[in-house]
Structure 1
């Protein structure tokens, strides 16, 4: 059985077919086609080779088909370049919610290529994320137009959840210092492990670790470390669901850690409603 389509995951949200390939992706797909059966057929979360899983638009998250039997691993730069390319081509219109304890924050996510809009209510708030070739930009949208979201407010929480405005902006995908640390398993899946270093102290994170599924390209886990090198936050995919023939993120868990410990002090769930 040949794998005719590649799989990807971005911003933690949706599974979708992507068009266009880089040279790296073409090489990866050719390698995948040499396999008699894709390991994805035996995966509980990524069973269908015709689907693509995406990060929430927090979600959201990460591209490529990593099936490199006997071939050298891709560089971190190549992986991130492909992630950004795929991320900027999506067409989405999803309803979801952030849930922490008894508090539920509904939102709508609409993406038209490189433009992503997050709409919240009670009170109304609309954010627009533009994914550029070399950077991302988060804007606040009002009746008067759009204005750049203040950098001083990026670390603020969204509606008292563990998710911040910086988490929505995906700026870490553009950090220039990145490397592949090796391979690790996450939920029995073989993953590439990447480390990205912040270029300045503007970010709440000094380092970000990413675990990317080698077979599907899905972002399985993300960890953010503070400027004391302590684990501050972890994002991890819990489940996916099929809606109108396509695969979407069903639930992602966001854990916030007490500084200097491994104690989880708060959990937020990002959920896409069927």
Structure 2
């Protein structure tokens, strides 16, 4: 989402809350500093299963997925001040229009914006919580709130992320709508160790909430990664 960002990052160490901007910078670097990797998985929602592969090559991540027997590809290209989402057609790449950021991929609950995690580049982030609510899967986390600098673009007015205090991994991401209500939640269910010794998430749960009752989950998808 840039999914590789969820691999375990270098240790942070304990102490006072760090600057939120620096936290997000380190999380972004965890993606671009990875060695070349090729991983496979699937996005599934009920009976819908969408196989995909992901190739990490420095500042470029290429996603390929199957839909109706047709291979589709889009890339995430990281830059110093953000990243581009590139879609491929007839062997050519073009920048994905912002109007398509919120389009679900192959009937799942996962969108191009979700996979890009472009909110990691938004400015004005701040650490907002450090209490019992900041613990996920038994891990102590910093909770970072990131406002959308252009709320008219994309699904979320702001995003809240849980970043592990010890290793910098992201365990949970909440997308908040313009009313300040939870619209979508991403949670890592399990992690796995790759052959090169690095860690990667094994399964992520994606919950879509009811707009009229944010406590109610109306749809669930999963992102499952294969253990190579």
How high is the TM-score relative to the length of structure 1? 0.75
Look up the match of 2:149. 199
Runs of 4+ in 1 over 3 A off after TM superposition: 10-13, 61-64
Say if 2:168 is the partner of 1:217. yes
Say if 2:205 is the partner of 1:253. yes
Deviations 1:38-68 (CA, angstroms, capped at 9, x unpaired)? xxxxxxxxxxxxxxxx52xxxxx77442212
Q: What is the distance in 1 between the residues matched to 2:8 and 2:90?
A: 32
Q: Give the conservation status (yes or no) of the 8 Å contact 2:122–2:146.
A: yes
* Deviates most, 237-246 or 166-175: 237-246
Give 2:39's match in structure 1, choosing from 79, 82, 94.
Answer: 94
Q: What is the distance in 2 between the residues matched to 1:189 and 1:85?
A: 21
SS at match of 1:234: strand
Look up the match of 1:182. 129
Give 2:112's match in structure 1, choosing from 132, 151, 165.
Answer: 165
Say if 2:19 is the partner of 1:75. yes
- How many residues were matched structurally? 218
Q: What is the distance in 2 between the residues matched to 1:245 and 1:116?
A: 18
CA spacing shift, 1:230–1:78, aligned 2, 3 Å: same
Q: What is the distance in 2 between the residues matched to 1:12 and 1:189?
A: 20
Q: Give the conservation status (yes or no) of the 8 Å contact 1:106–1:120.
A: yes
SS at match of 2:125: strand
Q: What is the distance in 1 between the residues matched to 2:180 and 2:8?
A: 25
Look up the match of 1:133. 80
Q: Give the conservation status (yes or no) of the 8 Å contact 1:230–1:260.
A: no
Q: What is the distance in 1 between the residues matched to 2:91 and 2:222?
A: 33
Q: Give the conservation status (yes or no) of the 8 Å contact 1:62–1:83.
A: no
SS at match of 2:204: strand
C-alpha RMSD of the superposition:
1.7
How high is the TM-score relative to the length of structure 2? 0.90
Unpaired runs of 5+ residues, structure 2, are none
Higher Rg: 1
CA spacing shift, 1:265–1:150, aligned 2, 3 Å: same
Q: Give the conservation status (yes or no) of the 8 Å contact 2:190–2:203.
A: yes
Unpaired runs of 5+ residues, structure 1, are 1-9, 14-53, 56-60
Look up the match of 1:227. 178
Q: 1:7-18 residue pairs with structure 2 within 5 A? A: 11-13=2-4
Q: What is the distance in 2 between the residues matched to 1:62 and 1:215?
A: 10
